[in-house]
Amino acid sequence: MEAIILVGGFGTRLRPLTYTIPKPLLPLANIPMVERMVRNLPTIFDTAILAVNYGLEEMKNYFENRNVGKKIIIVPEEEPLGTGGAMRNCINHVTGTVAVFNGDVVNSINLEEMLEQHINKKAKGTLALWEIDDPSRFGVVELKNNKILQFQEKPEKGTELSNLINAGTYLLEREILEMIPPNQKISIERDIYPKIAGNGLYGFPFKGHFIDSGTPKSYLEANFKCLGNDGTASHPGASIRGSCLIHKSVRLIDCIIGPNAVIGPDVKLEKCVIRNSVILSGVEGYGCVVEDSIIGPEISLKEDKKQILISPEGEITF
Ligand code: GTP
């Protein structure tokens, strides 16, 4: 069975990080988010199809000669085709029911249960659904006996049909892909789902967690979720507080790390305090306090007696 992973977006909300690293290759707890997604696919999936526009060369380079446990097919788009156009572009590699994922989501969906429901209901499409208090910025569904009766994309506040939102994970029959006009920019959420609501579209509500890691704040949250609840790191050069992950190549002297800290490869820190932050590869720092931030890659943080302010966007003010 194939899984299509949509990994072609520009990742504008994570700029400037995504100018140098395409969002799918940004690490979550030191593993690129797309690799983490491929590795987490249940065994029933033998192939991951990556629909790529922005970041094509980086993606090819990353997966060339790398074994991630599944066959990888990279399908390029000359122009961004949107979520629907991108999956249509992969149709030649799809042999039957296909799973489609937004490549930046961390969640607790049980895909095997979702597939069982999809088969039992003889659905044309099944959408994983997540319940939230304010659904107005999302795709909202009206659900009855697991049938999606209506689909609203980003409804005006107060007009939402329910609190259930599209969680960006789908099981689709090939006929849904065939409905999408080829070589055109199409949004599956705006252009296709509203048309098939009430006609073979089902919902699969799930509990647990759901994080769209596309903003600086949610990228940090997704990293900490991938850490789990256990303190996973130890280092002779640091006092460790709470859950942390420190890459084996990291050099630390007199540091306090955690709670919630991910330190990437080749980082060198001395007399630094790192809390609730992700330090990407190659960062060097001396005498710094870093909180609630994403730093790097390849950035040098120098000691300063004044207060150092680091925004969630990773901007540093001395
Ligand atoms: P922002 O620019 O910050 O909104 O991020 P984004 O470009 O990733 O867009 P968004 O988060 O809405 O996209 C959801 C998922 O669809 C992400 O995994 C994107 O990589 C993917 N995606 C969005 N547009 C395209 C596209 O035109 N082609 C492909 N292949 N994937 C897309």
Is residue 55 scored above 50 in pLDDT? yes
DSSP symbols for 33-44: HHHHHHHTS-TT
Last residue of a domain, one of 147, 180, 212: 212
Instruction: Report the residue among 5, 6, 188 best suited for mutation to probe ligand 1: largest number of ligand atoms under 8 A from its CB.
Output: 6
Give per-residue pLDDT as tens, 86-113. 999 999 999 999 999 999 999 999 999 9
Last residue of a domain, one of 212, 235, 263: 212
Q: How many CB atoms lie within 10 A of CB 281?
A: 18
Q: How confident is the model at residue 315 (pLDDT cuts 50, 70, 90)?
A: low
Helix (H) or strand (E) holding 289: strand 289-291
Is residue 316 scored above 70 in pLDDT? no
DSSP 55: B
Strand 125-131 versus strand 164-172 pairing type: antiparallel
Looking at the structure, do residues 119 and 262 belong to the same domain, yes or no? Answer: no
Question: Any bridge partners for residue 289, and if so which?
Answer: 273
Look at residue 221 and tell me if it is in a domain. no
Q: Are 262 and 281 in contact (CB under 8 A)?
A: no
Looking at the structure, do residues 237 and 154 belong to the same domain, yes or no? Answer: no
The domain in which residue 283 lies consists of 227-317
Q: Is 71 a catalytic residue?
A: no
Is residue 224 scored above 90 in pLDDT? yes
What Rg do the C-alpha atoms of the chain give, in angstroms?
Answer: 21
pLDDT mean across residues, the chain: 91
Give the separation between CA 313 and CA 112, rounded to whole angstroms. 37
**Averaged pLDDT, 142-165:** 92
Look at residue 200 and tell me if it is in a domain. yes
Look at residue 220 and tell me if it is in a domain. no
Looking at the structure, do residues 141 and 278 belong to the same domain, yes or no? Answer: no
Look at residue 219 and tell me if it is in a domain. no
CA of 129 to the centre of ligand 1 (A): 19
Question: What's the number of domains the chain is made of?
Answer: 2
- State residue 318's pLDDT score: 45
In a 10 Å sphere around its CB, with 0-12 CB exposed, 13-18 middle and 19+ buried, how is residue 127 labelled? buried
Instruction: Give me the catalytic one of 71, 154, 195, 302.
Output: 154
